Amino acid sequence: MINRRDFGKLVLGATALSFTACNSLASGLSTIPANKKRVVIVGGGFGGAATARYLRKFDSDVEIVLVEQNKEYYTCPFSNAVIAGMEKIDFIKHDLNTLAKKYNIKVVYAKVTKVDGANSNVILENGEKISYTRAVVSPGIDFKYEKGYTKENEKYAPHAVKAGEQTTILQKQLENMKDGGTFVMVAPADPFRCPPGPYERISLVAHYIKNNKPNSKIIVLDQKDKFSKQALFSNGWKELYGDLIDWRAAQFGGKVISVDPVKKVIVTEDEEIEADVLNYIPNQKASQLAFDSGLVANGKDWCDIHPKTFESKLVKNVHVIGDASNAAPMPKSAFSASTQGKVVALQIARILKQQEPLNPPKLANTCYSLLNPNYGISIAAVYNALDDKIQNVDGAGGVSPEQDPDGHIRILEAKYAYAWYESQTSDIFK
């Protein structure tokens, strides 16, 4: 006999069952129709979205499934402007709705736990499987939690390297900091997402502090001795902010021994520093998904790939692009990820049509950084993807000119930074 409580359980159970069935994230995708080919893309950021949009450009017939865990995507580019109060968080918010509708891409919102190369399917957190002919994995980074910094206490000393909630937390902390406070950034060891990113951030924090809390100070504890566009940043800091930014190389007091994110105390080799706001950017590695999917070799942090197609060296038919891939000398940047996604889309379209991949594909990168809203600097490079490595094209690339006596180039590059962002996000999300 069923009592009232049991009856309640049954009803709840039935509701839960029907809920699951109605919301089946990937229903009908566990197999591929005999006459079809399917490319499953994991991750809807700059890499994954570019792959999806351009794969449709190159192949009108292939089935494209894009799996992304978040319905809203906040870009790391321009997240520093949000932290410094120059832009609202919505400025960096994008979604996959237009991409899905306009280019006939099936978007599945779900967390992927593993790409199962042996059985050619992508496994979702709820156990569902999506079969693929080829998979493209663009999962981004994860952090090395160490020295006292943990997933649980990161909100007290936000890294803000994955944009969104963390961006807002750091922005609020800066906004609430007292005038006369100390803003401390711990900058990571190489390689990490967006090599100029921490230094753009510290520039824009300085811009905010100069205008809002001029008695405050900034300390950067760097886990390395040099960084991207260093001369341009250093000269710009001096020109715009005097001695407000105290940057310390690893060998000259920057090296961090331990951190207490709750108390905001950092112990270096020389001293103990108490911060009012602590922006701790940990050392990084490929997303855990890449490790769980066997895409990272033992003892390594990133996914090794065949440069021409970005196919994993460890798992056949799976291509890894963006920050998780070891595409050095290409930096882990939005521009790189997007370029890689487009080239990989072209190569996969050819492979699926039994054509040889193009040889050699050409890749490029451009990164703009703002030192204030009207002061931009840039770095660029062009690469050939050879059989065994990605190679800088000799003589190409470089940084902004060191001298800009009338300031026109810095102003123009700040405008181009905004224009690039609009072009880049339109190109892949719209």
Partner 1 sequence: MKKLAFLLALASLSFAVDYDPIRGEMLSLSCANCHGTDGKSTTSIPKIAGLDKNYMYQTLLEYKTGKRVDTHMMQKHTKGFTDEELEQLSYYFSKVK
Residue ranges in contact with partner 1 by CB under 8 A: 54, 335, 338-339, 342-343, 346, 358, 361-364, 366, 378, 380-383, 393, 395-398, 400-401, 409, 412-413, 415-416, 418-420, 422-424, 426-427
The nearer residue to partner 1, 249 or 411, going by C-beta atoms, is 411
Return the bridge partners of 368, or none.
Answer: 378
Residue 290 Cβ, how far from partner 1 at the closest point, in Å? Answer: 24
In one letter, which amino acid is 198?
P
Q: Are 117 and 237 in contact (CB under 8 A)?
A: no
Residue 337 Cβ, how far from partner 1 at the closest point, in Å? Answer: 10
Residue 160 Cβ, how far from partner 1 at the closest point, in Å? Answer: 24
The nearer residue to partner 1, 247 or 383, going by C-beta atoms, is 383
129-164 core/surface letters (b: 16 or more CB in 10 A; e: else): bbbbbbbbbbbbbbbeeebbbeeeebebbbbbbbbb
The nearer residue to partner 1, 95 or 427, going by C-beta atoms, is 427
Residue 259 Cβ, how far from partner 1 at the closest point, in Å? Answer: 36
The nearer residue to partner 1, 199 or 421, going by C-beta atoms, is 421
CA–centroid distance for 263 within its chain: 28
> How far is it, in rounded angstroms, from Cα 381 to Cα 57?
26
Residue 296 Cβ, how far from partner 1 at the closest point, in Å? Answer: 27
Token couple for 113? 């736990």
Residue 430 Cβ, how far from partner 1 at the closest point, in Å? Answer: 9
**Torsion angle, alpha carbons of 191, 194, 197, 199, to 10:** 40
Q: What single-letter DSSP state applies at residue 129? A: E
Q: Rounded to the nearest 5 degrees, what angle is found at the Cα of 408, between the Cα atoms of 402 and 414?
A: 85
The nearer residue to partner 1, 374 or 423, going by C-beta atoms, is 423
Q: What single-letter DSSP state applies at residue 47? A: H
Q: Are 302 and 326 in contact (CB under 8 A)?
A: yes
The nearer residue to partner 1, 183 or 421, going by C-beta atoms, is 421
